[in-house]
Structure 1
Amino acid sequence: MVPGRGGACAAERRHRPLRGARVTAILHVTRDLPPATKGGISTAVHGLALAQAEAGHAISVVSFDGWRPRSRVGAPGTPPRVATEGPLQVLRVRGPSDLHTANVFAADAHPAVVHAHDGLLWALAARVREVHGVPAVLHVHVLQAAMNAVRGVTERTMSLDAQERALREADAIIAPSRAVAALLREAAPELAPRVAVCGLGHTAPAARAAAEPPTEPGPIVYVGRFDDVKGMADLVEALPRLLARFPAARAVLAGGLPDNPRGERRWRERYLERAGLGAGARTAFLGWLDPDALDALYRAAAVVLVPSRFETFGQVALEAMARGAAVVATRAGGLPELIEDGVTGRLVPVGDVDGLVAAVAELYADPQAARALGGRAAEASTRWRWPAAVAALDEVYAEAETVRRTPREMT
């Protein structure tokens, strides 16, 4: 498998056959499928699954919603039921007592391939592969080693152990960016033959009638998790400085810390303490938004700030670009593969708060330049539509079947 360029891994070619026929049944194993949205992975997997269904595939999803792996296997509760959610067949599980139902659901789906989106969920994908003799692929949405490094975590974690097992066993490994692929190959060169670079995608935003430029700048916007890896500490420093520089400016933070209200509250309190009463009063915390509200926020933004310390891809940046927003981001992970500095956005070094403030301030003070940057970003974002990703993944699935049928030594 070779790294791709642009918005897909390899060129957009016709679907290859899998076991002599076009892939028609795909089983996704993921977390928190919308409407249980808890971050970029949720929306990315949902967008991919819908696009694959639109392309003619039969899509089934096991979604581990609010998963509690340490709950008692025999804990009482109502067994989960299969739901038809648009073109998707979805089973939502919450604990080990639901795993039997998940295995039955997987068997009934008759998948040609299993697509796992989290190393902690690999055991289910591996079991389906073993029982049904189909390939299983791993999508590296989060690179645990890189995330632990950003957080200063030095001990082994359950998530790291699970991801390393999945990387060893997967028939194909999908890296969302060349940056992630390079880190995987550097850490474990034996993975290289099974690594493919496939960018994510976005749904083309609804066309809007041309509107007059706003008379006042929109807000400075952040979207995503409140997390060290997402650069929250840098955001906490940068936003109050920007609001102090522009007394009429507003800031909007959409997102939070799923399943950790106490941690989310600590970030909010830390920000408000740093911002003071004046800037704090001009800052809105909106929580997680539905797609329509998020679309409107991107379109209204003066600047969208992506201060990440590491990104495997950069879904927020892509969504904002697609809606014509001016994006200021760091050079973290896959972000430079989405954004051309000075052309389709602005890039600054990771952790450079002064650079973030300067880049945002320059665009905020010059709305015409920000609109021009956003217009070029919207045009560039068309390379990353979901149909291209679907076609590319069909190629990966076909190659994974070849790997599955070729004995290899497990290390």
Structure 2
Amino acid sequence: MGLLGTFRNLTVLFFCEQYPPIVWDGAGTYTAALAAALVGLGHNVHILCAQGRRISDTVENGVHVHRRPLLQAPATRALGGLGSRLRGPLHPRDSLALRTSLAASYSFWMRQLQLRPDVIETQDGETRALIEAVCHTRPLAIHLHCPTMLAVRLAGQPIGTRGLVADRLDQVSARRADVVTAPSQLLVDELRRDGWLGDRAVEVIPNLFDATPWRGLPDARATEPTIAVVGRLEPFKGVDVLLDAAARLRAAGVAHHLVVVGRSAGAIGGVESGTWLRGRARELGVDAEFTGHLTAAQIREVFGRARVVAVPSRFESFSLVAVEAIAAGRPVVVTSRTGVAPFVQRWNAGSVVPTGDPAALADALAPFLLDAGWAAAVGEHGRHGVTELEPEAIARRKEAAYLRGIKEFHARQRGAATIRPGLRLRPHRGPAVWLPEPRPPATDDRSRDGAASRPEHRSRIDVPESSARTR
């Protein structure tokens, strides 16, 4: 049951409108896997999913899932073309109305359902927990995926005043949270440089992953020379770089087929991304198949026929796609600007190349395309390595992080002097419960702009040098 489960169970509430199967993306997949793992440790887990108009309460794999409507008044939609101009090109990423709706919906439905969690977890963007953060009603844990406006900046798009306000609102939840975690040191370093985190301490805990659905796929020995790339078709995903690399491979006589999976998002050169990429593939003479959005089962089928999977992103806080490919026994080629890159190197699961370099990307892909046996051997290395992200082990680290967040919450509420070492209090109800003090994670000793000196998988808290002196 884990450290806390020996004494009592936690009630954990997640705010997540992307919870599968309504929208299957990285944040939703992470939440589903973590929720199931926490249930396995004996905790009581609820998911509040504010999306659409559906009202339902179900129990899925021991997780209580509450689906409720998103409370909103889409006024600009009623204005037609004028509304589109008012929303602007970054909508809904910079939408203040959406942020208001999400914060109000989650706060309202939590109270309407009479949920009294010991801790709330949600992600960094769209201010889902803004009301809880500002009012400090419950212990709050924020897991950084990739703040919404950071992705816009990395894509080189202008943010504007509305985007700046939206970004500042997103920062409020993270800075006022009781505990903040991130899947990679890369993301923490990027946010430090950007000034987004302030002096906020962050613990690096990689995203957990259940490899079970992927273990049944055969290795790459019987595959044709096929490259797969999966993700939204947006500028910072780097699919344009992959197309240039594919053209170089073709010119060098390395025959292959490219499968591009994902829906279009954003624009390239003023043209809708999917349209631009399809046109670029035709222009370069690349043998490319654009599938659009696929289900998880369909993505497994794509990986089953791929020989190698590419993640050419200009920035990726972790990359679930890479981990899925590794679990499927496929070698991966990722850029150095993906949070999963240190794992790929440590597991000998593929290659890491510079960002935006089609020549380096082509050179890394070629050996796998030319030798199915080599692809299978590297894929087998990765399959062994991915067990490092086993759900129970990562869930125990999250459990310990929640404990620290609960302690921080009560220290703020009642003053640190009133909380004796080792004391854990159940929020708002019940008697005090004594628990052994968990061993604190080690603190890395890098400077604000330095790199971590320990391997990625070891527990640590990232604290900027300026705040480390005062803590």
Task: Assess same fold via TM > 0.5.
Answer: yes
* Structure 2 unmatched ranges of 5 or more: 74-100, 416-471
Q: 1:348 is matched with which residue: 349, 353, 360?
A: 353
Q: Which has the higher contact order (CA 8 A, sep 6+)?
A: 1
SS of aligned partner of 1:121:
coil
Partner of 2:124: 118
Please tell me whether the aligned partners of residues 144 and 181 of structure 2 are also in contact (alpha carbons under 8 angstroms): yes
Partner of 1:151: 155
Partner of 2:66: 90
Please tell me whether the aligned partners of residues 234 and 353 of structure 1 are also in contact (alpha carbons under 8 angstroms): yes
SS of aligned partner of 1:63:
strand
- TM-score for the superposition, normalised by structure 2: 0.71
SS of aligned partner of 2:174:
helix
Please tell me whether the aligned partners of residues 221 and 375 of structure 2 are also in contact (alpha carbons under 8 angstroms): no
CA gap of 1:342–1:202, structure 2 versus 1, over 3 A, is closer
SS of aligned partner of 1:162:
helix
Task: Determine the C-alpha separation between the residues in 2 that align with 1:59 and 1:252.
Answer: 38
CA gap of 1:83–1:266, structure 2 versus 1, over 3 A, is same
Task: Determine the C-alpha separation between the residues in 2 that align with 1:101 and 1:336.
Answer: 35
SS of aligned partner of 1:405:
helix
2:300 aligned with 1:295, yes or no?
yes
CA gap of 1:82–1:121, structure 2 versus 1, over 3 A, is farther
Q: 1:267 is matched with which residue: 232, 251, 273?
A: 273
2:221 aligned with 1:213, yes or no?
yes
SS of aligned partner of 1:340:
helix
Please tell me whether the aligned partners of residues 228 and 258 of structure 2 are also in contact (alpha carbons under 8 angstroms): yes
Task: Determine the C-alpha separation between the residues in 2 that align with 1:80 and 1:183.
Answer: 39
AA partner of residue 182 (structure 1): D
Partner of 1:222: 229
- TM-superposed deviation, 1:342: 9.1
2:35 aligned with 1:49, yes or no?
yes
AA partner of residue 352 (structure 1): D
- TM-superposed deviation, 1:365: 1.1
SS of aligned partner of 1:407:
helix
- TM-superposed deviation, 1:263: 11
Q: Deviations over 1:98-137 (max 9, x none)?
A: 8568634455332111001133133456169744xx3101
Percent of matched pairs sharing the same residue: 24
Partner of 1:191: 199
- TM-superposed deviation, 1:393: 0.3
Q: 2:316 is matched with which residue: 293, 311, 332?
A: 311
RMSD: 3.4
Q: Which moved more, 1:389-398 or 1:262-271?
A: 262-271
The structure with the largest alpha-carbon Rg is 2
Partner of 1:75: none
Name the count of aligned residue pairs. 379
Q: Deviations over 1:150-186 (max 9, x none)?
A: 2223545154222211122111111111222334445
Partner of 2:96: none
> What are the within-5 Å matches in structure 2 for residues 10-409 of structure 1?
14-16=2-4, 21-65=7-51, 80-88=55-63, 89-96=65-72, 99=104, 103-106=108-111, 107-123=113-129, 126=132, 130-131=136-137, 134-144=138-148, 146-152=150-156, 153=158, 155-156=160-161, 157=163, 158-186=165-193, 187=195, 191-192=199-200, 194-206=201-213, 207-208=215-216, 213-214=221-222, 216-243=223-250, 245=252, 248-257=255-264, 266-276=272-282, 279=285, 282-340=287-345, 343-407=348-412
CA gap of 1:229–1:212, structure 2 versus 1, over 3 A, is closer
CA gap of 1:314–1:159, structure 2 versus 1, over 3 A, is farther
CA gap of 1:274–1:240, structure 2 versus 1, over 3 A, is farther
Task: Determine the C-alpha separation between the residues in 1 that align with 2:340 and 2:368.
Answer: 19
Partner of 1:74: none
- TM-superposed deviation, 1:138: 0.8
SS of aligned partner of 1:60:
strand
- TM-score for the superposition, normalised by structure 1: 0.80
- TM-superposed deviation, 1:374: 1.0
Task: Determine the C-alpha separation between the residues in 2 that align with 1:295 and 1:286.
Answer: 14
* Structure 1 unmatched ranges of 5 or more: 1-12, 67-77
Q: Deviations over 1:44-97 (max 9, x none)?
A: 22222222223322221122436xxxxxxxxxxx67333444433222433337
CA gap of 1:31–1:265, structure 2 versus 1, over 3 A, is farther
AA partner of residue 144 (structure 2): V
Q: Deviations over 1:227-247 (max 9, x none)?
A: 122223323323344355557
Task: Determine the C-alpha separation between the residues in 2 that align with 1:128 and 1:190.
Answer: 17
Task: Determine the C-alpha separation between the residues in 2 that align with 1:48 and 1:342.
Answer: 23
CA gap of 1:278–1:144, structure 2 versus 1, over 3 A, is closer
Q: Which moved more, 1:290-299 or 1:376-385?
A: 290-299
CA gap of 1:286–1:328, structure 2 versus 1, over 3 A, is same
Please tell me whether the aligned partners of residues 314 and 335 of structure 1 are also in contact (alpha carbons under 8 angstroms): yes
SS of aligned partner of 1:122:
coil
CA gap of 1:188–1:275, structure 2 versus 1, over 3 A, is closer
